[in-house]
Amino acid sequence: MAQKNIFRSIIVTATTFVGGMAVGMLLAPDSGSKSRAWLTDQATELSDWMERQGKFASRQTNLKVGKLRKNMGRGVKRNFPNLYEATEHISMSDQDGLGV
């Protein structure tokens, strides 16, 4: 049910956008070539902006993941004992290891 509502919202949004663009082109005070040039410039600016935002989001995500990884490593070291250090005082002979 929720998938249908999301799909309908996307369809309505896309249809409204395309309809608005068509009406805008028909009612534009400039000639077709000027309007197309303006649209091309705006699309280029939008593309550049989206690329910058994507790079920024990627950097921020990498920083957050790095901090999370570091904090998790600290938490594991703090909450779980180092088994080598915890068992170094236990003496075992070769016979103990073989189960004999």
**Helix, strand, coil: what percent of the chain each, to 5?**
85, 0, 15
Give the separation between CA 55 and CA 15, rounded to whole angstroms: 30
Rounded Cα gap, residues 56 and 49, in angstroms: 11
Q: What is the pLDDT of residue 33?
A: 84
Tell me what pLDDT residue 45 has.
Answer: 92
Q: How far apart are CA 6 and CA 71, in angstroms?
A: 37
Condensed to tens digits (0 to 9), the pLDDT of residues 17-74 reads: 888 888 887 777 777 788 788 888 988 998 999 999 999 999 999 999 999 999 998 8
With a cut of 70, say whether residue 100 has pLDDT above it: no
Is pTM, for the whole model, over 0.75? no
